[in-house]
Amino acid sequence: MVALSVKVVCNLSFFHCIFGTFMGKNLARLLKQHRKSMRVFFRSKQDRFFSLLSLSALGISVGMLMLVLCSIVNNGYKALTATKILLHLDDTESIRKDSEYFREDCIRRIHSALDKILSSHVDLNNPETKRIAYSIVSETAHYELADLIQKNVRISPDGLWLNASTEFLSGAKNNEISSVVLKTFEDQERIKRSFFNKSLFTNSHSKVPENAGILGALIGSLLTIIVCLAIAIPLGIMTGICMQELLSNNKVSSIIEISINNLSSVPSIIFGVLGLVVYLNIFGVPRSSSLAGGMTLSIMILPYLILTTRQALAAVPESVKHAALSLGATNMQVIMHHSLPIAFPALVQGVLVSVARIIGESSPLIMIGMVAFVIDLPKTFLDPASVLPVQIYIWANNSSAEFTKISAIAILALLMILLVLNMIAAFIKRRLDNFSF
């Protein structure tokens, strides 16, 4: 019996050891799988968290952009419409175009038409009342009438629609006389606010908001960019070719490269000071001209064009150069016939991005006097001109709310130009990347 008991105990111990070992292995495997699943869970949780952060950042960026655009559009859409008043002008045929008092005669006809409308509603014998009543018409209305007479345009018997003063309309609620004058025109249906503001796209700067436009600034920006690119593109590309393909790596080339890199990070207003001292004071370039502005901006984008040219040439495969050299081509033939055509898409994109950068610059141009009050449209590179960013700066700093609305339209025009330039750059790069020269 004792032997049987010992045998049973031994067998039980043996099975217990086997069972314990089996259960221990399973338990260890389960714990390992649990730890692995927990790591996967936390990792996926972290991925979702960072994805949420990224989407939130994107949403904030898009939201801020939409907020800015909506604010600009909300301020600017009102400037697209013009308010005009209907006046019946008497005896305009008798106004002599060659008369010494031609402008005064036009003003006299307008005031006479206003007297007929307002004489029974306000006291025009009071000088202050008369001044306020006459201010409903724009200060430049007599120029409109004079232009029509000089062009031999027949004035309709039904009357002539002339620009109303936006300053008068915006402050009419705060003045009793202005309110009466405005109500008189509204009751007689002599005022309309549904006209498209053509002067916004056909005129230059003006002292009165209803006659101000962005055309002069657009032409000035175009002339300035033409001068800038005519100087910067040849110098930038040729300097980049020289540094990348012709100069050997030594201390002199290293110093030049470091200097160009430092020049690309100089604040833009420093270039304005340089243009003021060198171009205006030493060389006598006309102040406020597109020539002075273009020459100043050309120095500013020159480092960027040099670096773009070097990067574009560095991306050309060495096998192309070696193959051309092995066929007997000279170093200059390799550059002109092989390297430059391959690098051409990147060069075009770099030039367009440079234009998009300088078209929004204002501080260097303010330093050389392009902040002046310019009424006439510039016709040559030597004429006084303004550019779109500077014009926006002038209008935004004006105390009149009407000029703020016009500045919003100018901002939208500038954003549209930048968008078009970047789209053209992306399109050209995509089309020319796979083009075979």
pLDDT of 223: 92
Identify the H or E element spanning 195.
strand 191-196
pLDDT of 147: 81
**DSSP string for 15-44:** HHHHHHHHHHHHHHHHHHHHHHHHHHHHHH
Q: What angle do CA 373, 387, 408 make, to 5 degrees?
A: 90
Q: Cβ(298)–Cβ(304) under 8 Å?
A: no
Both tokens assigned to 220: 């000035």
In tens, the pLDDT along 344-361 reads: 888 888 888 888 888 888
**DSSP string for 306-337:** HHHHHHHHHTS-HHHHHHHHHTT--HHHHIII
**What is the rounded CA–CA span in Å between residue 34 and residue 41?**
10
pLDDT of 7: 47
Taking each helix axis from N to C terminus, what angle separates 340-358 and 401-432, rounded to the nearest 10 degrees?
Answer: 170
Give, as one character, the DSSP assignment of residue 120: T
pLDDT of 40: 67
In tens, the pLDDT along 373-392 reads: 888 888 889 888 889 998 88
Say which amino acid occupies 330: T
Please give the distance of CA 10 from its chain centroid, rounded to a whole number.
92
Cross-strand partners of 163: 84
Helix (H, G, I), strand (E, B) or coil at 136: coil
Please give the distance of CA 238 from its chain centroid, rounded to a whole number.
29
pLDDT of 27: 58
Q: How far is CA 347 from CA 102, 237, 316, 340, 424, in A?
A: 56, 8, 12, 9, 13
By percentage, how much of the chain surpasses pLDDT 70?
A: 89
In tens, the pLDDT along 61-91 reads: 999 989 988 888 888 888 888 888 888 887 7
pLDDT of 12: 45
Question: Mean pLDDT, to the nearest integer, of 49-70?
Answer: 89
Q: Cβ(270)–Cβ(313) under 8 Å?
A: no
Of residues 372 and 392, the one with the higher pLDDT is: 392
Q: How far is CA 134 from CA 42, 86, 293, in A?
A: 76, 14, 41
User: 231: pLDDT confidence band, cut at 50, 70 and 90?
Assistant: very high
pLDDT of 19: 46
Phi, psi angle pair for 230, to nearest 5°: -60, -30
Of residues 97 and 58, the one with the higher pLDDT is: 58
pLDDT of 434: 64
Burial class for 124, CB neighbours closer than 10 Å (0-12, 13-18, 19+): middle
**What is the rounded CA–CA span in Å between residue 401 and residue 167?**
9
pLDDT of 9: 43
Q: Cβ(122)–Cβ(177) under 8 Å?
A: yes
List the domain boundaries for the chain: 83-197, 215-432
In tens, the pLDDT along 150-160 reads: 877 777 777 78
* CB contact set of 145 (below 8 Å; sequence gap of 6+): 89, 92, 106, 109, 110, 160, 162
In tens, the pLDDT along 391-418 reads: 888 888 887 788 888 888 889 888 888 8
User: 30: pLDDT confidence band, cut at 50, 70 and 90?
Assistant: low
CATH C-level class of 215-432: mainly alpha
